[in-house]
Amino acid sequence: MALNETHDPALQSWVASANTGSSDFSIQNLPFAVFRRSGKNEAFRGGVAIGDQVLDMAAVRDAQALGAEVQTQVEAAAQAQLNALMAMSPAQCSALRLALSRGLRLGSAQQAALQACLVPQSEVEYTVPARIGDYTDFYTSVHHATNVGKLFRPTNPLMENYKWVPIGYHGRASSIRISGVDFHRPNGQLKAPDVDPVLKPCNRLDYELEMGIYTGQGNHWGDAIAIEAAENHIFGLCLLNDWSARDVQAWEYQPLGPFLSKNFATSISPWIVTLEALAPYRTAFTRPAEDPQPLPYLSSQANREQGALDVQLTVAIQTPQMRAAGQPAAQITQTSYRHAYWTMAQLMAHHSVNGCDLQPGDLLGTGTLSGPTTSEAGALLEITEGGKKPLTLPNGETRTFLLDGDAVVFTGWCEKPGAARIGFGECRATVLPARQA
């Protein structure tokens, strides 16, 4: 993705809250979501974030406020599911972004028309922004894979295939929920040593810090996506929490991998940040010289030069005690997506190399995005070394795994000198007590 006028860090919006320098939703961002006013019996429709406002794309459509040249894209962006927009070409999506940017800039002749289409974010609720036909979860952090592997195979933590193949499994799309939707602690089979398994609530509930990658244009069944074209098939990214029942997982995962330990809930942030918006934050993708280098179908010059993304990511926990005391969630992790062992383009190319057809709106999870140090670990399983070393929170409470009432909050953003801040908002959910097994 080349830089263009929409990335100019000097751009200012007539929506003053977008110009603070600390807003996730500057005019250089312009992410998409699906929303409606809270407490109103309204239809969900597409929106674009600008500062602390949502630009109601259904209202923009009705007013024809962005002009005939992009009216087709506006109509797709106004729908209750954004699959039609995701299915459009990168050129069409880029044209819509440019029209939005010009319309929301200071001095725009469209200010009056667009101002009437704004809704405060404080007054809205969100839903899953696309029809997610399929969800695949990958395992792209070598640091996470090594840390977890050490718990089970201290002398051989990484399986032989890890550095050759982007490892993934087929997840459950039906249990993906938007940020703010809480869920019950899952029940599952648990097996203690020397006794038969029992069905009961999991007691080793964990989060996994991930990003989600939305498929844009799909590919025909039987046709592989070449790595050189892979990013033309990516619409944008969100934050993703792959909740995990570690004790259920330990009993069920051999020989076919995760099942009930993963499919009970996956949380995603509401805003989709487009790949074009993230162009200033591309960075080189490199492998240690002593590691196997990617096979040709997973390698290209463009991927080596700018295949990685420097997205800062945090995890915070708010316990019931913190909430009662009016204390915010306490940050326990900060890391970056740039540490991933496999890039977005590699995931798309590998997923389709056997002829698998991806559809607009399909979601790929990156896997837990841990960095090289303990402070960059993306799951409690790593931080507490499988529950052996409890985490002490700032108020003195400890956790090995999550307890009922704990809220987990992810945030993500990009920031550097010479570029505007691009944020993802937050991904939040609270663990509710288990239902009776």
Does residue 437 surpass a pLDDT of 80?
no
Average pLDDT over residues 301-329: 98
Can you give the pLDDT at residue 153?
87
Q: What is the pLDDT of residues 122-131, one digit of tens each?
A: 999 999 999 9
Does residue 89 surpass a pLDDT of 90?
yes
Can you give the pLDDT at residue 319?
98
Can you give the pLDDT at residue 156?
84
Can you give the pLDDT at residue 152?
80
Residue 230 banded pLDDT, cuts 50, 70, 90 = very high
Average pLDDT over residues 2-8: 96
At residue 119, the 3 state secondary structure works out as strand
Can you give the pLDDT at residue 197?
96
Mean model confidence pLDDT for the chain: 97
Residue 293 banded pLDDT, cuts 50, 70, 90 = very high
Residue 191 banded pLDDT, cuts 50, 70, 90 = very high
Q: Is the dihedral of CA 395, 401, 407, 408 positive or negative?
A: positive
Map tokens 């790595």 to a residue. Answer: 227
CA distance 119 to 315: 29
Can you give the pLDDT at residue 155?
85
CATH pick for 135-432 out of 3.90.850.10, 3.90.120.10, 3.90.650.10, 3.30.360.10 = 3.90.850.10
Catalytic residue among 7, 143, 144, 351: 144
Answering whether pTM is above 0.95, one says yes
DSSP labels, 241-252: E--EEHHHHHHH
Does residue 1 surpass a pLDDT of 80?
no
Portions of the chain given CATH number 2.30.30.230: 5-127
Does residue 84 surpass a pLDDT of 90?
yes
Closest CA to 276 of 96, 17, 413: 96
Q: Which of 219-228, 253-262, 333-342 has the lowest mean pLDDT?
A: 253-262
Can you give the pLDDT at residue 436?
87
Q: What is the pLDDT of residues 91-123, one digit of tens each?
A: 999 999 999 999 999 999 999 999 999 999 999
Q: Which of 65-79, 141-155, 299-313 has the lowest mean pLDDT?
A: 141-155
Does residue 14 surpass a pLDDT of 90?
yes
Q: Is the dihedral of CA 355, 356, 359, 365 positive or negative?
A: negative
Residue 401 banded pLDDT, cuts 50, 70, 90 = very high
339 is catalytic: no
Q: What percent of the chain has pLDDT over 90?
A: 95
Closest CA to 400 of 374, 379, 371: 379
Q: What is the pLDDT of residues 232-279, one digit of tens each?
A: 999 999 999 999 999 999 999 988 899 999 999 999 999 999 999 999
CA distance 231 to 391: 39
Can you give the pLDDT at residue 334?
98
Average pLDDT over residues 69-89: 98
Q: What percent of the chain has pLDDT over 70?
A: 100
Portions of the chain given CATH number 3.90.850.10: 135-432
Does residue 408 surpass a pLDDT of 90?
yes
Average pLDDT over residues 311-321: 98
Can you give the pLDDT at residue 151?
87
- Structure tokens given for 155: 């002398």
Can you give the pLDDT at residue 125?
98
Superfamily of domain 5-127: Fumarylacetoacetase, N-terminal domain (2.30.30.230)
CA 324 to chain centre: 29
- Structure tokens given for 255: 């020989």
Average pLDDT over residues 277-303: 96
Question: What Cα–Cα distance (Å) separates residue 145 from each residue in 163, 266, 287, 368, 389?
Answer: 11, 20, 16, 9, 19
- Structure tokens given for 160: 């032989």
Closest CA to 384 of 151, 191, 202, 190: 151
Exposure string (b/e) for 2-36, b if CB count within 10 Å is 16 or more?
eeeebbeeebebbbeebbeeebbbbbbbbbbbbbb
Q: What is the pLDDT of residues 28-51, one digit of tens each?
A: 999 999 999 999 999 999 999 999
